[in-house]
Amino acid sequence: MKIALIIENSQAAKSSIVHDALKSVAEPLGHQVHHYGMYTAEDKASLTYVMNGLLAGILINSKAADFVVTGCGTGMGSMLACNAMPGVFCGLIADPTDAFLFGQINDGNAIAMPYAKGFGWAAELNLQDCYRKLFDGERGLGYPKERAAIMAKNRGILKDLKAAACKDMLTVLKSVDQDLLKAATAGERFEELFFANAQDTALADYVRRAGVS
């Protein structure tokens, strides 16, 4: 699985902590971690939580990533922005129990984490435990087990509802403020990571024509 990490500007100073925690768990399990920035608080390309959501939508819908890990001070802004995108189902994850239940019940494709609120002593251990609960083993098995079937049915209903309520991602890209799109995809490694992994030609071509690479 390709896991994309996106860090917004207010928490960019913690980028290496989050990245190291994610890699230490995900890579031994056979997953790839692609860090789309920010990398430091001094990066020229600055990402807001709104941009996090737009970028998550691009990565998930183009299949450049299978899962997105993002966040902000409380995690709420990034969660809302991600869930505004077609095909993105993002949970707010603060602890390992959240991570386990989200993975087993909702089986979404993105998480938003609080990197300021409650981010204190041994925060990196909490991150590792959360990632382990998410990425070690099969997700979507249900909890409790006897409710697995109805949970899977509800996930399908929610997916259909979101598809009916949202425009497709290409229409979103054509409709959004193009300066916002350019800013969201201006990271120093975006071109390297995105165009090597995107599987939706139409989305990738639009991103390229828009001059964001």
Handedness of CA 37, 38, 43, 46 (dihedral sign): positive
Q: Domain with 169 in it: what CATH number?
A: 3.40.1400.10
65 Cβ contact partners less than 8 Å away, ≥ 6 residues apart: 2, 3, 4, 34, 59, 197
192 Cβ contact partners less than 8 Å away, ≥ 6 residues apart: none
Residues of the chain scoring pLDDT < 50? 213
Q: How many separate domains does the chain show?
A: 1
pLDDT at 213: 46
From 85, 78, 80, 84, select the one nearest 61 (Cα to Cα): 85
pLDDT at 65: 98
For 167, the domain range is: 2-209
Distance of CA 7 to the CA centre of its chain: 10
pLDDT at 210: 87
pLDDT at 212: 53
What residues form DSSP beta bridges with 91?
111
pLDDT at 100: 98
184 Cβ contact partners less than 8 Å away, ≥ 6 residues apart: 47, 51, 54, 55, 58, 212
pLDDT in tens, 45-77: 999 999 999 999 999 999 999 999 999 999 999
